[in-house]
Structure 1
Amino acid sequence: MSNKAVSYAGPGKVEVIDIDYPTFELKDGPGVNPANVGRKVNHGAILKVVSTNICGSDQHMVRGRTTAPEGLVLGHEITGEVVETGSDVEFVKKGDIVSVPFNIACGRCRNCKEGKTGICLNVNPDRPGSAYGYVDMGGWVGGQAEYVLVPYADWNLLVFPDRDQALEKILDLTMLSDIFPTGFHGAYTAGTKVGSTVYVAGAGPVGLAAATSAQLLGAAVVIVGDLNEERLAQARAFGCETVDVSKGDPKDQIEQILGVPEVDCAVDAVGFEARGHGAGAAKEAPATVLNSLMEITAAGGALGIPGLYVTGDPGAVDDAAKHGTLSISLGTGWAKSLSFTTGQCPVMRYHRGLMQAILHDKVSISKNVNATPIPLDQAPQGYDEFDKGAAKKYVLDPHGMVGARS
């Protein structure tokens, strides 16, 4: 059976290629750790991909800002229909419509049992934690494809309770694989609660998901900062205040909004490709957002940091940043008793609750992030437009199941 997929073809390029149809064994290929080659996956399921989204984390690789090898099949945001299950799968059934957490987790190790599914100890020989189609994550094939293998299916997959309802709300539910839980994780770990004032750095899809989540958690005011006016307009469209960081330090604009130059909670949805503020907005300065958030967060507050930081960045502005070493004012954080939460969002901690919020019409995440479905063969165009700052969340539709409902 044919299986088309989106692959990284070198800095600035992606291609739609033909790859093997999945089997219940991990085979060699670009980015696959040798220790994973031949790994049996009888606990897995093969999915017909209903929707798979282009993520800002994918863009870091496509820009050549990681050590991703050419030929790597991309895609960690996956929603699909189960078409085959391995011999060890008991509960997930053929025909189920499911959300796939971008974290690959075994459900058996100490971390998984403690709910730390973003740092599973058994799926990636390189380090704790794994994801589909991502650099240094063990080599599990990405889901920007027609079909994909998901290991530990009974543990990983979130089965939607009603097929027709799921397909009707697919543009919202597709966000459960990553950006909605990731944004929620950022807002939640920043301490957002009823009445909080919240600043979200970054108006890309994760930032908009964090802003949506802060509203869902009861924030009194949500402020979103970015350089991109189109993306800031998207944030304003669902009730956020906005800050254009190209016009100066965020704290001055925050003071104009709140009357004080600080917020209770802050979220970094930018990551390691951050740029300066004010006159320096065009220049890359990877520690800018973290240092800014420490300055504007009230003493005793917290920073949620879902924005990606890496240990290998060939395109970094200096030698230290190439290894993930940034000039962070930790003294500021210490003096203000600030708390920090970093790392992969443990999607399984949140996705069922957020599914319920979607199914019961408590939130419209697809509208807030401007979800835009496109065919799989238009992925290169989608990557290009997203890289240029389009205020859209591109949803790839390999089998036309999304477009038929949109």
Structure 2
Amino acid sequence: MANNRGVVYMGKKGVQVQDIEYPELVLKDGPGVPKANVGRKCEHGVILKVIVTNICGSDQHMVRGRTTAPEGLVLGHEITGEVVEVGRDVEFIEKGDIVSVPFNIACGRCVMCQERKTHICLNVNPDRPGSAYGYVDMGGWVGGQSEYVMVPYADFQLLKFPNKEKAMEKILDLTMLTDIFPTGFHGAYTAGVGIGSTVYVAGAGPVGLAAAHSAQLLGASSVIVGDLNEERLAQARSFGCETVDLSKHDRLGEQIEAILGVPEVDAAVDAVGFEASGHGEHGGEQPAAVLNAIMDVTQAGGKLGIPGLYVTEDPGATDEDAKTGSLKVRFGQGWAKAHTFVTGQTPAMQYNRQLMKLILSGKASIAKAVNATVISLDEAPDGYADFDGGAAKKFVIDPHGTLK
């Protein structure tokens, strides 16, 4: 039996790289696995040797203690790998294939999957619709910040790269197909971004930068990115975005007017989520700050793409309501302006194949936009710390040293 190591959530101790069990084609009992999922056979799945796997901002929510994630959870839902074992029920995926794994786990058989709503599959998580690898309340599926990982429903889920050599040349771009590129694109697309649109993106972390790059691909005439971190804003400017430093300005509309001549945009994206901060020097944590701000600055009849994560339980929240996901959102303003809100996990499979084509053709440069930075598996704890400190980087873990 081969060895395996992974990044494990250790509660207040943060994360550690530990020896973990080598995957089998079954979901065993473990941290966060619902009883109804224990022993679930996955002969429709494969074992992957992980080529690259990324640290995500939503992982940071758990590591900061802002969710009810259990200790011992193996993290990681952004997985690209080589197939090394194939279950008996797999027909079309073969050993040696290099594949991208959508972060949503989906069966391909329920009514939601048949309607392409793979982010709310009804069969993979007994506790609620929708599932993901290595994430709290998402069915207990083992994460992929590891050397090897099991992926169920392989024929339906896996995106096979058509050319191995070209895939490895573009691997730092292709690794973003698992989550942040589709998620950023989903935010911009569902906000209605099109030819000539003016767009405001809240948050210059990797998803916000991916949303900004996606808005450019969709034909936006101006993309404005707001954040409290100057290093991340500089990264947004590096590929042609306008920026607003929200640590210095608490009147977003005025800053947008200084750029566009009007205080509103056609479309807005919330790439921050529930750990939002108020604007200005003394903003502090305000979970609804971004939602209220994008309603303020989006024109009447506009759309709000909200790929930023919101949760039902936040033990580290600043007030009692927020601990259960109840936020002080000025919904009346959104109603009065006839805004459209699009929320929830991104159905990655709706976008990943077309975005792969953009990458392979050289039309999309997502790795450059998010500043993809390669680290080893042993460097993962430092990567988490640097990311939490605001580094303008998207950390890509190379568990086997393949990219060297």
> Counterpart of 2:260?
258
- Describe the SS at the equivalent of 1:242: strand
- Describe the SS at the equivalent of 1:219: coil
Query: 1:371·1:392 contact (CA, 8 Å) conserved in 2?
Result: yes
| C-alpha distance in structure 2 between counterparts of 1:383 and 1:21, whole Å | 24
Letter in 1 for 2:37: N
| C-alpha distance in structure 2 between counterparts of 1:24 and 1:79, whole Å | 18
Q: After TM superposition, give the deviation of residue 280 of structure 1 in Å.
A: 2.8
Q: After TM superposition, give the deviation of residue 247 of structure 1 in Å.
A: 1.7
| C-alpha distance in structure 1 between counterparts of 2:330 and 2:113, whole Å | 33
Matched, 1:240 2:244: no
| C-alpha distance in structure 2 between counterparts of 1:17 and 1:66, whole Å | 22
1:30-109 correspondence to structure 2 within 5 Å:
30-109=31-110
> Counterpart of 2:309?
308
> Counterpart of 1:347?
348
| C-alpha distance in structure 1 between counterparts of 2:330 and 2:289, whole Å | 10
1:129-278 correspondence to structure 2 within 5 Å:
129-248=130-249, 249-278=251-280
Q: After TM superposition, give the deviation of residue 279 of structure 1 in Å.
A: 3.0
Moved more, 10-19 or 235-244: 10-19
List alignment gaps of at least 5 residues for structure 1.
none
| C-alpha distance in structure 1 between counterparts of 2:380 and 2:361, whole Å | 31
List alignment gaps of at least 5 residues for structure 2.
none
1:2-17 correspondence to structure 2 within 5 Å:
2-11=3-12, 13-17=14-18
Q: After TM superposition, give the deviation of residue 102 of structure 1 in Å.
A: 0.2
1:391-406 correspondence to structure 2 within 5 Å:
391-402=392-403, 404=404
TM-score with structure 2 setting the length: 0.99
Q: After TM superposition, give the deviation of residue 188 of structure 1 in Å.
A: 0.2
Letter in 2 for 1:76: H
| C-alpha distance in structure 1 between counterparts of 2:13 and 2:270, whole Å | 25
| C-alpha distance in structure 2 between counterparts of 1:217 and 1:9, whole Å | 41
| C-alpha distance in structure 1 between counterparts of 2:28 and 2:19, whole Å | 16
Deviations 1:330-389 (A, max 9, x none): 100000000000000000000000000000000110011000000001100000000000
Q: After TM superposition, give the deviation of residue 12 of structure 1 in Å.
A: 5.5
Deviations 1:148-199 (A, max 9, x none): 0000000010000000100110000000000000000000000000000000
Percent sequence identity over aligned pairs: 73
C-alpha root-mean-square deviation of aligned residues, in Å? 0.6
Deviations 1:279-335 (A, max 9, x none): 333x10000000000010000000000000000100001010000000100100000
Q: After TM superposition, give the deviation of residue 251 of structure 1 in Å.
A: 1.0
| C-alpha distance in structure 2 between counterparts of 1:4 and 1:251, whole Å | 48
| C-alpha distance in structure 2 between counterparts of 1:91 and 1:200, whole Å | 39
Deviations 1:207-265 (A, max 9, x none): 00000000000000000000000000000000000001112221111000000000000
Q: What is the number of residues matched between the two proteins?
A: 402
Query: 1:12·1:63 contact (CA, 8 Å) conserved in 2?
Result: no
> Counterpart of 1:333?
334
| C-alpha distance in structure 2 between counterparts of 1:203 and 1:11, whole Å | 27
